[in-house]
Amino acid sequence: MAETLTPDICVIGGGVGGLSAATAAAAFGVPTVLIERDVLGGQHLNTGCVPTTALLAAAKRAAAARDSHAFGVKASGVEVDFAVIHRRIHDAIARLSPNGSVERLAGFGVRVIKGEAMFKDRRTVTVGDDVEIRARRFVLATGSRPVVPSIPGLDTGPYLTTDTVFALEQLPARLIIIGAGPAGVELAQGFRRLGSDVTLLGTGEALADSDPEAASIVLAQLEREGIVVKTGVALVHVSHISHSVALTIEIDGRQEMVEGSHLLIAADRKPATEGLGLDAARIKHDVSGIRVNGKLRTSNGRVYAIGDVAAGQPRCASAATYHAGLAVRNALFRLSPRVADSAVPSVVFTEPELARAGLTETQARQRKLKYRILRSPYHDNDRAQAEGRTHGQIKVIVDKKGTILGVTIVGAQAGETIAAWCLAIAQGMNIRAMLDVVLPSPTFAEIGKRVAIDFFAPNLTRPWVRRIITWLRILG
C-alpha cells in the first residue's frame, strides 16, 4: 500500500530553483517534500554553471600564461594537462554537492524522495507505486533538457551535448559547436584556450538576445583567438567517419563541409515537462513550457512553476532562485509579489564578460519608450589601462529624467560590476545615484560614474546654470 503524505509544500525538481524553494518553505516551519528523479543540484551544479566556470578558470590561466610576455613575464612552453582539468571540474562539483545533499535538506526539515513525480489529479502527485502526495501547494522546478536539432545523419554516430560535454576525459583536437548562444560561445573560448581547434556555428545571429554592440565585441575577441565563427548557417548533413565527424552546412546558398574530431550540440534547451501528468492536473502547457501568470501560478491554482520550465521566463540560475522566493511567498502567505523582468540579470562568462540588467536598447525601442543612451569605453578606465584589458564598454539606458532602465556592460569583470546596477534598476533609481556614491579607485566599477557625469554634463553649459554661477560669484 502506498504511503500518503500531506505536506504544505511539495517541490518537484531538485535543481537550484527547487532547492531554493524547498529550503525557503522549510525555513518557515511548514512540512515540505522535495522530489527529484536524478541528481540533486540539477543542471546548475552538475552540467551547467559550476563545471563551465571551472573549465573557463583553467582556460583563463592558460591564456594569461601565453600572453604574459606583454607584461615583461616570459612563460615558455605552456602545457595543458586536460586530465587534471577534468579532475578539478569534478572536484568542484563534489565540494559543492553537500550544500544540497539529502542530509543537509533533512536538517532544514525537508523530506527528499527519489523518483519520478506524476500528477494523478489536480492536487495529488504519485512517485511510482510507493508514495502518494496530497499537498496544499506544489512548485514545479523541473528545469530543462538540451534540444538536439534534427540533422540527417546525426544519430549515426556519437555527439556531445551541454549535459555530457564535461564527461570528456581527453581534450578534443577539433571541436565543432552547434549553437552560438551563451553556452556555445563560453565553451568555444574555453576549449580554444586549452588547445582545441574550434568552429562555432549558429543558425541565427551569435548571442542574439544580447545587445548587438556588446555581442560584436565578444565575437571579435573569439575570432582574434582563432575561433572560426559562422552564423546564419543551415545544417544539412552529418557524416561520422571512423573517429571524426563531417558536417555539411549551407551559407548564402553555398554548401561547405566542416570537419572535426568531436561535435557538441549547444543549440538550445527545452522545458522538462515530460512524464509529469500535467493534463491530469489541468495545467496548461505548450512547447515553450508551463504557462504562468505574473505570480508564477499555473492554470491550476494550487501549482506554481519556476525557472526554466516556466514559459516566457528567463532561463538562468539567478531567475530560478528569484522565482523560488516569489513562489513560496505567494504559496504560503497569499501575497501578491509579481515577477519583474528587469530584476533578472544575465552574464556571458567569456573574456571579455558580457553582463546585462534591465532593458536592452532594442527592448526599449520595441516598447516605444523615450530614452537616452549613455556610453563609456573601457579604454578610459584607469584599472583597464593598468591591466591591459581595454576591450569593452558600458551602455546605460535612461529615461528623460534619468531613471535607469537598463545596463549592458561588456568588459573585464562585467559580471561583478553589474551587481550595483541590478540594485539600481530594481529600486527604480536615478542615474544621479551613481554620482553620489563614492567608489574605490582604481576599479572597473568607476566606469559607471563616467556615464553619470555624461548625463548631467550638458546641464553645466545651459545659460540659466551659468547665470546662477555668475550671481553666486558676485555674492562672494
Q: Taking residues 320-325, report their average pLDDT.
A: 95
Q: Are residues 124 and 13 located together in one domain of the fold? A: yes
Is 468 inside any structural domain?
A: no
If we measure between CA atoms, which residue out of 317, 155, 146 comes closest to residue 239? 155
State yes or no: 457 annotated in a binding site: no
Residue 242 is predicted with a pLDDT of 85
Take residue 340 and report the three cell numbers written for it.
519583474
Q: Are residues 74 and 176 located together in one domain of the fold? A: no
* C-beta of residue 16 within 8 angstroms of C-beta of residue 134: no
pLDDT category of residue 464 using cuts at 50, 70 and 90: low
Q: Are residues 176 and 241 located together in one domain of the fold? A: yes
Q: Are residues 284 and 262 located together in one domain of the fold? A: no
> Can you tell me the distance from the alpha carbon of 47 to that of 93, in angstroms, rounded to the nearest whole number?
9
pLDDT tops 70 at residue 229: yes
Q: Are residues 181 and 154 located together in one domain of the fold? A: yes
Domain boundary among 290, 322, 341: 341
> Can you tell me the distance from the alpha carbon of 423 to that of 90, in angstroms, rounded to the nearest whole number?
33
Q: Are residues 276 and 136 located together in one domain of the fold? A: yes
Q: Taking residues 241-250, report their average pLDDT.
A: 94
pLDDT tops 70 at residue 459: no
H-type alpha helices, 38-139: 42-46, 49-66, 82-96, 102-108
Identify the domain containing residue 304 by its residue range. Answer: 3-146+270-341
pLDDT category of residue 120 using cuts at 50, 70 and 90: very high
Cα dihedral sign, 395-397-400-404? negative
If we measure between CA atoms, which residue out of 34, 145, 9 comes closest to residue 100? 34
Residue 172 corresponds to which amino acid? Answer: P
CATH number, domain with residue 457: 3.30.390.30
Neighbours of 314 (CB within 10 A): 19
Neighbours of 338 (CB within 10 A): 10
State yes or no: 182 annotated in a binding site: yes
> Can you tell me the distance from the alpha carbon of 155 to that of 340, in angstroms, rounded to the nearest whole number?
41
Is 346 inside any structural domain?
A: no
State yes or no: 144 annotated in a binding site: yes
* C-beta of residue 312 within 8 angstroms of C-beta of residue 285: no
Residue 327 is predicted with a pLDDT of 95
Label the pairing between strands 289-290 and 285-286: antiparallel
Is 38 inside any structural domain?
A: yes
State yes or no: 143 annotated in a binding site: yes
CATH number, domain with residue 133: 3.50.50.60
Q: Are residues 409 and 325 located together in one domain of the fold? A: no
First and final C-alpha spacing in the chain: 92
Q: Are residues 14 and 90 located together in one domain of the fold? A: yes
Number of structural domains in the chain:
3
Round the average pLDDT of the chain to a whole number and report it. 94
* φ and ψ at residue 420, rounded to 5 degrees: -65, -35
Is 476 inside any structural domain?
A: no
Is 431 inside any structural domain?
A: yes
State yes or no: 308 annotated in a binding site: yes
> What's the DSSP call for residue 201?
E
Cα dihedral sign, 290-282-142-188? negative
Residue 461 is predicted with a pLDDT of 67
Q: Are residues 390 and 436 located together in one domain of the fold? A: yes
Q: Which residue has the cell 600564461?
A: 65
State yes or no: 142 annotated in a binding site: yes
If we measure between CA atoms, which residue out of 114, 95, 161, 103 comes closest to residue 14? 114
Domain boundary among 267, 294, 313: 267
Residues 6+ apart with CB under 8 A from 52: 183, 186, 187, 190, 349
Q: Are residues 361 and 434 located together in one domain of the fold? A: yes
State yes or no: 130 annotated in a binding site: no
Is 471 inside any structural domain?
A: no
Is 470 inside any structural domain?
A: no
Residue 421 is predicted with a pLDDT of 95
If we measure between CA atoms, which residue out of 416, 411, 384 comes closest to residue 395? 411
pLDDT category of residue 292 using cuts at 50, 70 and 90: very high
* Range in 133-147, 153-167, 195-209, 449-463 with the lowest mean pLDDT: 449-463
pLDDT tops 80 at residue 476: no
State yes or no: 185 annotated in a binding site: yes
Is 171 inside any structural domain?
A: yes
Q: Are residues 374 and 434 located together in one domain of the fold? A: yes
Q: What is the pLDDT of residues 75-118, one digit of tens each?
A: 888 899 999 999 999 999 999 999 999 999 999 999 999 999 99
State yes or no: 180 annotated in a binding site: yes
Domain boundary among 313, 341, 369: 341
Q: Are residues 11 and 137 located together in one domain of the fold? A: yes
Q: Taking residues 173-196, report their average pLDDT.
A: 98
State yes or no: 181 annotated in a binding site: yes
